[in-house]
Chain A
Amino acid sequence: GAGVSQSPSNKVTEKGKDVELRCDPISGHTALYWYRQRLGQGLEFLIYFQGNSAPDKSGLPSDRFSAERTGESVSTLTIQRTQQEDSAVYLCASSLKAGGPTDTQYFGPGTRLTVL
């Protein structure tokens, strides 16, 4: 079956612009996660959704970052007034259900964001 997909694959933007990153989870997966990976580093958690509610937003680095999810499908991560330190790969993952033994997260290919 189809895996997690993300778009765009790459995004170059100018400092101060807003960007939207999209994630399509695996069909039937109710949980969706966003992570950020800065160059040469591990992944940092940003936010996760169970259905369309977001029980944990603790990783969002500032109020310029927001995310939403429609039902149990597509999610959009929005970064407003981008800064150069926002440059990173943004990875999305999905799982059958958050928490417990079925919560194995499968990742998409990521969106590489470059802020000039």
Chain B
Amino acid sequence: AQTVTQSQPEMSVQEAETVTLSCTYDTSESDYYLFWYKQPPSRQMILVIRQEAYKQQNATENRFSVNFQKAAKSFSLKISDSQLGDAAMYFCAYRGNFGNEKLTFGTGTRLTIIP
């Protein structure tokens, strides 16, 4: 079974600064997908970014980017120019390929933005 570990229960960052959230995972599969979701107090899970394991290039979405290290099984999220609206719980998630379609989530990192 796969596991996802987020070792930082809480993080804080000054507005406009950069912060990196850590995620590691364990799997024996070679083909899989990784995701970061954001959950604000409204509890709606919002997709932030996704990465296919077969792609060497790190995914980016505007101010959000990942550092995907396949050999190290590491998938960190970098948020640049942090904004007040980025305050939320961030969950890292793993999904296998066909036959393993469910998302396996980490325990989350609560991100606070300091004005």
Residues of A within 8 A of B11 (CB): none
A57 to chain B minimum Cβ distance, whole angstroms, is: 11
Residue A100 contacts which of B35, B37, B97, B104 (CB distance < 8 angstroms)?
B97
Count class of interface residues, chain A: 20 to 34
Count class of interface residues, chain B: 20 to 34
Stretch of A11-19, A20-28, A35-43, A72-80 at the chain-chain interface:
A35-43
Complex Cα distance, B98 from A43, in Å, reads 21
Residues of B within 8 A of A41 (CB): 107-108
Complex Cα distance, B9 from A41, in Å, reads 11
In the complex with contacts A33-B103, A42-B105, A59-B102, A101-B43 CB distance below 8 A:
no
**Which residues from chain B sit less than 8 Å from chain A, CB to CB?**
33, 35, 37, 42-47, 50, 52, 91, 93, 95, 97-108
